[in-house]
Chain A
């Protein structure tokens, strides 16, 4: 029952995604998809393990710099550049995760924030990052040596494939036995330990997966906007991904995707409101926290459920 409905939604969304660039500006869509990967990666931790990371900008931005550097300066092809971004994010995730998972709750969040600030500091100090100018004009020419991706329209489908792969991976993780253990940790950690699971191993693996996917988002984004900059590693970026996930719905599969689209849409289309941008953003967050706490997707799901249960 549940499965068929999800499948129907999936197919409808897929059709929508394929047709979208004919209607909506592709660069905007690509950016939103990258942030959707980022938010899904973050949601893997908070939504399914119950760990609030406040330093995900480190993996997003760190991998963005690496991908931009290897593509621009070393001339590596895009697929290798993205992979090296992901690899660096995974290594960072392994290092930071090993330190951070020893702490709980708000302290976990603070350790991740502190470590992410170190990465930010390195990004400011290191020569190759280009300071506040960032790494600009990252080339985007061919994929696998024969697909021309300099065109935004074509590249959109590449990004869509990357997104779908990431989403499928997350879906697999969440619905695997591994994912079940993660949820058990979220619900009751001592109990999970007593059942004989090595909780820290599970947490660390989830952390590394989340960081790598955040890295995938960051290094893909580099090729969308063709630049990597300090904005990507700033703590505000870590805050933004929290907001996306929350707006869309914590712990729901589609929530982060919706949240990412909403926040990116706001950023893009509110820019015409000039001076009012901050105020409008603030009002929206306040309203979400007060009235739509389950997030957009969470609210819809709850409404759907209530309606079904209400019907005879």
Chain B
């Protein structure tokens, strides 16, 4: 067994860094989920499946069209975003006047369909996707060996999270968005096309999921089931951060990555459970999550 006190400080530092990297994925995914929830009031259970599709699109682009990683990083979110737009326009739109339970169930059904189709087509053990040449290899940081690609994951996710925050909090488009979340009727009275904004928001949110999928493709096996275990964790991240809070989801994403990383050292068996423990405690102390407002 791993000895509790036997861990050297530099090894701990390595684990913290790894936690931060994992947190990057949680941050991007929960960000998308939070944006969608804030705007549409829909808990997008298909988020994990769309993340998986994002990774698969990258794989297919490479396999069938010879399009590499860098182009996929942009193309895949666009393609998945279009798929999202189609879902929003044809299915989700019918449910806005209802309890969010129905949105959750619809997207849950969609997740099953997507996972089933990809499993049938590509098998359960998944497909390999190699790290782009530019980012192969690693650096010895003294306290640990850090693959360059993992470093890139942190950078990329920070950029995306900051950009999203900037767009929503600091631009005109973002201000419309926030206003439409608060009071759609009033905003549409000002002549803003609210349904189109909702459409764009959903497409953007699932595009983020696809982006995370492409980022994950070289690290994890591109497999049909890769999103199904993640969704419930990301879901917890959003709730802990405060449903619909942008900052909350990003900070919580990174924070939980670190907590999970530490648990992997001290009590590895509990590393998936710790997030739920945190969730229970947070919700009992702060009813609306860390950054949420009580409605």
Contact = CB atoms under 8 A, between A and B. Distances in A.
B263 to A, nearest CB: 12
A107 B94 CA distance: 25
Interface in B107-124: 108-117, 119-120
B188 interface: no
B113 A121 contact: no
A285 B112 contact: yes
Nearest to A293: B102
Given A113-B279, A114-B277, 5 more contacts: A102-B287, A104-B287, A282-B112, A285-B112, A290-B95
Contacts of B284: 99, 102-103, 111
Given A103-B287, A106-B243, A114 B110 contact: no
B109 A121 contact: no
Contacts of B94: 290
A289 interface: yes
Interface residues of A, number: 39
B116 A277 contact: yes
A246 interface: yes
Interface string A40-56: 00000000000010000
Nearest to A50: B99
Given A106-B43, A275-B120, A293-B102, A282 B279 contact: no
Interface string B7-36: 000000000000000000000000000000
A99 B115 CA distance: 35
B248 to A, nearest CB: 14
B101 A107 contact: no
Interface string A112-136: 0111011011001100000000000
Interface string A234-246: 0100010011001
B239 A285 contact: no
A110 interface: yes
B287 A279 contact: no
24 contacts: A99-B280, A106-B243, A107-B288, A110-B283, A111-B279, A113-B236, A114-B236, A117-B273, A121-B270, A125-B269, A246-B105, A275-B119, A276-B116, A279-B112, A279-B117, A281-B112, A281-B116, A282-B111, A282-B113, A285-B108, A288-B105, A289-B95, A290-B95, A293-B102
A118 B277 contact: yes
A278 interface: yes
Contacts, number: 105
B201 to A, nearest CB: 19
Interface residues of B, number: 38
Given A278-B115, A285-B112, A289-B105, A106 B280 contact: no
Contacts of B288: 107
Contacts of A106: 43, 100, 239, 243
B121 to A, nearest CB: 10
Interface of A: 52, 99, 102-104, 106-107, 110-111, 113-115, 117-118, 120-121, 124-125, 235, 239, 242-243, 246, 275-286, 288-290, 293
Interface of B: 43, 91, 94-95, 98, 100-102, 105-106, 108-117, 119-120, 232, 236, 239, 243, 269-270, 273, 276-277, 279-280, 283-284, 287-289
Contact of B113 (A104, A242, A286): A286
A197 B284 CA distance: 24
A133 B223 CA distance: 26
Majority-rule SS of A interface residues = helix
B225 to A, nearest CB: 10
A280 B117 CA distance: 10
B109 A283 contact: yes
A192 to B, nearest CB: 20
B92 to A, nearest CB: 10
Contact of A243 (B95, B100, B105): B105
A275 B110 CA distance: 16
Contact of B108 (A117, A118, A239, A275): A239
B187 to A, nearest CB: 24
Contacts of A277: 116
Nearest to A242: B105
B113 A283 contact: yes
B177 to A, nearest CB: 21
A49 B236 CA distance: 24
A305 to B, nearest CB: 20
A278 B113 contact: yes
B262 to A, nearest CB: 17
Contacts of A281: 109, 112, 116
A107 B120 CA distance: 36
A278 B119 contact: yes
Nearest to B103: A289
Contacts of B95: 289-290
A117 B115 CA distance: 23
Contact of A118 (B98, B110, B111, B276): B276
A242 B287 CA distance: 24
B294 to A, nearest CB: 10
A118 B119 contact: no
A124 to B, nearest CB: 8
B274 to A, nearest CB: 9
Nearest to A121: B273
Contacts of A239: 108
A283 B109 CA distance: 6
Contacts of B101: 52, 246
Contacts of A124: 269
A149 B277 CA distance: 42
Contacts of B119: 275, 278
